[in-house]
Amino acid sequence: SVHPHHSMLYPLSHEYRKAIANRHANLCMEKINVLHKQPYKYPTDFASDGRIRVGYVSSDFGNHPTSHLMQSIPGLHDQSRVEIFCYALSPDDGTTFRSKIAREAEHFIDLSQIPCNGKAADRINQDGIHILVNMNGYTKGARNEIFALRPAPVQVMWLGYPGTSGAPFMDYLITDRITSSMKLASQYSEKLAFMPDTFFVGDHKNMFPHLKERVLLESVDN
């Protein structure tokens, strides 16, 4: 069968791509059904300090384009309002990308050391996460079975995968009105959560500060 990620390369209809994604989502649900786990209980309120707990889940916290783009995001949150958890699905690759995310996230948890999806979901639920962010979708290293177990009350897709999950366990897709206009909403199984400008991020300003200095010097010289 065609993998959801590969389906984007073929001249298929949007409806067919969505159906392919839905089939893979159902396979994830079939896998977790054998665990016979009871539904999780969720936080009924914010943490004692009034903050929202947001968890980012990715196998790409390391030398990967996803981290190249978003490595500064954990540290840019307003910590008076948001408590950030980063859940790594891959082991430490020893890169500065990994260390920056681990250092700037308030909590960094290596779930690659917990291969059981049920136990990994338990850990996330125990952390009292309000919003859980799936940064893999159907890309390499994904563990969508964790999301199929619904360890958090709100689960969203963001950045790492350019299509719909087709999954009933994913509630929102973080996007923008240019990338995903409302007239295309039927192509997604998720509700569309629009960012004011763009859902896409980049870290060039921090990765290449010397380029900005060069532009400033050239403008002064001229």
Say what the pLDDT of residue 32 is: 96
| 139-166 residue pLDDT tens | 999 999 999 999 999 999 999 999 999 9
Query: Cα–Cα distance between 3 and 7 in angstroms, integer?
Result: 6
Share of the chain above pLDDT 90, in %: 87
Say what the pLDDT of residue 159 is: 97
Closest CA to 193 of 152, 145, 136, 155: 155
Query: Mean pLDDT score of the chain, rounded to an integer?
Result: 94
Say what the pLDDT of residue 5 is: 96
Neighbours of 159 (CB within 10 A): 23
| 77-91 residue pLDDT tens | 999 999 999 999 999
Q: Are 4 and 21 in contact (CB under 8 A)?
A: yes
172-175 vs 154-157, strand pairing mode:
parallel
219 — pLDDT class (breaks 50, 70, 90)? low
Q: Are 151 and 132 in contact (CB under 8 A)?
A: yes
222 — pLDDT class (breaks 50, 70, 90)? low
Query: Cα–Cα distance between 12 and 30 in angstroms, integer?
Result: 26
Q: What are phi and psi of 38, to 5 degrees?
A: -75, 150
Residues 180-201, mean pLDDT to the nearest whole number: 96
Q: How far from 114 is each of 72, 89, 91, CA to CA, in Å? A: 26, 9, 11
Q: Is the pTM of this model over 0.85?
A: yes
Q: Which residue type occupies 77?
A: H
Say what the pLDDT of residue 48 is: 81
Residue 36 has pLDDT above 80, yes or no: yes
Query: Domains plus CATH for the chain?
Result: 4-221 (3.40.50.11380)
Closest CA to 40 of 147, 136, 142: 147
207 — pLDDT class (breaks 50, 70, 90)? confident
Say what the pLDDT of residue 216 is: 58
Active-site residue set: 5
* The pair of three-digit structure tokens given for residue 55, joined into one six-digit string: 């968890």
